[in-house]
């Protein structure tokens, strides 16, 4: 699990000269708060990683917003709005 958290950028520990991970107070607090977040809201690590990715990748966030917005309209209207947003970007 710790390797996964590091690969997704959720918790990135320092490294020793020998290359071992070194978890300081900051990383331990991140792990503790992540555990609490999962417990309180019932989210899994994949959901948290995806939320973090949305913050790092504005293009992905915009595409997802377009898709979510399009769920309430007919397909042709949704496609038209998608193309309009792409032209503006």
Could you count the other beta carbons within 10 Å of the beta carbon of residue 3? 8
Q: Which residue has the tokens 């950028």?
A: 9
pLDDT tens-digit profile of 61-82? 988 888 887 765 566 776 777 8
Do 51 and 66 have their domain in common?
Answer: no
Do 69 and 45 have their domain in common?
Answer: no
> CA–CA separation, 59 vs 22, rounded Å?
33
Do 22 and 47 have their domain in common?
Answer: yes
Do 10 and 40 have their domain in common?
Answer: yes
This prediction's pTM: 0.67
What are 86's two structure tokens? 């792409």
Do 71 and 33 have their domain in common?
Answer: no
What residues make up the domain containing 71? 58-88
Do 52 and 62 have their domain in common?
Answer: no
What are 39's two structure tokens? 């417990």
Do 43 and 66 have their domain in common?
Answer: no
Do 50 and 77 have their domain in common?
Answer: no
Whether residue 42 contacts residue 35, with contact meaning beta carbons closer than 8 Å, is answered with no
pLDDT tens-digit profile of 15-63? 999 999 999 999 999 999 999 999 999 999 999 999 999 999 999 998 8
* Total structural domains within the chain: 2
Whether residue 12 contacts residue 52, with contact meaning beta carbons closer than 8 Å, is answered with no
Do 9 and 49 have their domain in common?
Answer: yes
11 class by beta-carbon count within 10 Å (0-12 exposed, 13-18 middle, 19+ buried): buried
């Amino acid at each position: 699990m710790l390797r996964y958290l590091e690969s997704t950028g959720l918790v990135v520990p320092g490294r020793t000269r020998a290359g071992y991970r070194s978890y300081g107070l900051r990383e331990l607090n991140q792990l503790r708060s992540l555990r609490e977040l999962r417990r309180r809201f019932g989210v899994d690590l994949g959901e948290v990683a995806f939320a973090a990715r949305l913050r790092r990748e504005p293009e992905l966030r915009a595409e997802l917003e377009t898709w979510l917005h399009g769920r309430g309209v007919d397909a042709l209207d949704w496609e038209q709005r998608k193309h309009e947003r792409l032209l503006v970007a």
